[in-house]
Structure 1
Amino acid sequence: MTSQQPEQVKAELGVIPETALWTLYQRAAEARRPDAMLHDPKAVELVDRLDHPFAERFGTSPLQARLQAMRVACFDREVADFLEREPRGTVVCLGEGLETQFWRIDNGRAHWLTVDLPESVELRERLLPPGPRQRYLAADATDLGWAEEVDRSHGVLLTAQGLLMYLRPAQVRALIAGCAELFPGGSLVLDAVPHWFARLTRSGRMRTHGYQVPPMPWSMDAGERAKLRSADPAVAAVRDVRPSGRGLAGALLPLALTVPPLSTRRPSVTVLDFAERPGRP
């Protein structure tokens, strides 16, 4: 007797929410490799379950999948380090889409809050029903009302992976400033695309197969990260997160990113640490 196969789920998302399918596909493609630098069986499971023409729409690029895995690993490393320090802390994932980080690095004690647009949350709930320590909140990440839902009692780490580049510059500054004021002692892990890449998306020249990358209003060269401190006085420190990887390619790619002009004009992952409030218990 054969086991019943999970029902196929059709994904119908808007232009920007659809980017969650692109990143999911890249993670799964890397995870399927025998020498994968990212172990993500949940991503493979979701790609197999979704009724979506992934290969036809996004194409196939082992290099793109590996680069995506390196970016994701930067976020995983920062979240894992936070959970080492604060095992019962809260991880707030802004614009999480179909990210499967919880299944990769959850420690069994932390609390996770996903904040995303209603259509993205609806699909996530169907594919990844939340467990007892997970909560999904349908809201615009730029509307800081979601902050009232965050448990601050054991430390907070916020992530904005694949989100900020789709916001206007003023929205990015306001979001950083709001998080800095609302989560003293916390941190925000974010990623950015360089200016040259964002210009290509805005000109419509960033296209692969049947997929047009959405325009990206906000960008930041890696060498500009120190400017993020100007978003708010409560941004106490800015730190670059360098990628790492396995094998020859995994070693050479991070090394190449240290050589100009890539060292200053590359995609980047950055951590912002927020100052404690004086007198905070």
Structure 2
Amino acid sequence: MSSVERPELAAVPETALWTLWQRAVEARRPDAVLHDPKAVDLVERIDYPFAERFGTSGFQSQLQALRVACFDREVADFLAREPRGTVVCLGEGLETQYWRVDNGRARWLTVDLPEMIALRERLLPPGPRQRYLAADATDLVWADEVDRDRAVLVTAQGLCMYLPPARVKALIAGCADRFPGGSMVVDAVPRWFARFTASGKMRTAAYQVPAMRWAMDAGERDKLRTASPAVTAVRDVRPTDGRGLLGALLPLALTAPWLAAHRPSVTVLNFAEGPEPA
């Protein structure tokens, strides 16, 4: 496709352009930690002042890429175990994970707000095993569209931090109830970072990061079990293979007690195989 897209998005949906830009900046490097030619292509096709609005930071783009790679690794592992499983991507925006890790047999369902689905359909038309559904990811009507005879992995990347805490808990509980034996991957910003966004301190000269309403320090991840009795296990997904200064600091951030407890996190939730006994 050679046509140029000029998106006009509200504050939270616009974060899809921010994450896209960070992936493309990293993917353009010869020593990239995330190979994402589709993101590079999208940036070139979208008429938007990415660099002027978001800035260009190699540290930030690598940090974002390492987070994305955590999700890629979990999806790839799931598809290795369940080659014909279903990956449900909530609030996916302009994520290009399908083109990075698809195995040629799985089914993919993207659930996002109508304005984002419309943009995604124009820029990333779905293939025969992909489906896009315009819906609020938190109302769970989309769950009726998922084949329960297949293994299911739900991803919520860059979504939950913009939701009220009660809706995050309800979303996790709803997924645990509807997909027995399934799993879910969620990411969270630490509480100090959310406070910065709420105070308006997370910004560039031209862009204000939207306030993040839900936060969780990495050391609190076990609290996610309280969302539902059907959440049977939680597991930390740690970034690997950082480059340069970030790569050198990463082991410290993962092992020094205070830093490890207050860093951004990616967590896998496993769901019980069936309903809890009465």
Q: TM-score range by the shorter chain?
A: over 0.9
Structure 2 portions without partners, runs of 5+: none
CA contact (8 A) 2:177 2:275 kept: no
User: How much identity, in percent, do the aligned residues show?
Assistant: 72
Q: Check whether the contact 1:90–1:152 (CA below 8 A) recurs between aligned residues.
A: no
Cα distance in 2 for residues equivalent to 1:74 and 1:152? 26
Aligned partner of residue 269 in structure 2, secondary structure: strand
Give ranges in structure 1 of 5+ residues lacking alignment: none
Does 1:261 find its partner at 2:268? no
Match of 1:63, as an amino acid? F
Equivalent in the alignment of 2:23: 27
Q: Residue in 2 aligned with 1:71?
A: 67
Matched, 1:272 2:269: yes
1:154 CA drift (Å):
2.1
Partner of 1:154: 150
Q: Which amino acid aligns with 1:84?
A: A
Question: Match of 2:13, SS?
Answer: coil
Q: Distance in 2 between matches of 1:209 and 1:262?
A: 28
Within the candidate set 23, 27, 38, 1:42 is matched to: 38
Please give the TM-score of this superposition, normalised by the length of structure 1.
Answer: 0.96
Q: Which one is further off, 68-77 or 150-159?
A: 150-159
Amino acid at match of 1:43: A
Q: TM-score, normalised to structure 2's length?
A: 0.97
Structure 1 Cα separation of the partners of residues 189 and 52 of structure 2: 25
The 2-side partners of 1:87 and 1:104 are apart by 15
Q: Is the 8 A contact 1:242 1:254 kept in 2?
A: no
SS in 1 for 2:261: coil
2:243 & 2:165 partners in 1: Cα distance? 37
Contact 1:244–1:250 (8 Å) recurs in 2: no
Report how many residues are paired: 275
Q: Residue 177 of structure 1: CA displacement?
A: 0.4
Q: Give the 5 Å matches for 1:130-209.
A: 130-209=126-205
Match of 2:9 in 1: 13
Task: Measure how far apart 1:114 and its partner are.
Answer: 0.1
Alignment counterpart, residue 76 of structure 2, candidates 69, 76, 80? 80
For residue 92 of structure 1, give the secondary structure of its aligned residue in structure 2.
strand
Partner SS state of residue 207, structure 1:
coil
Q: C-alpha distance in 2, partners of 1:173/1:184?
A: 17
Give the partner amino acid of 1:155. A
Provide the secondary structure at the position in 1 that maps to 2:131: strand
RMSD over aligned CA atoms reads 1.3
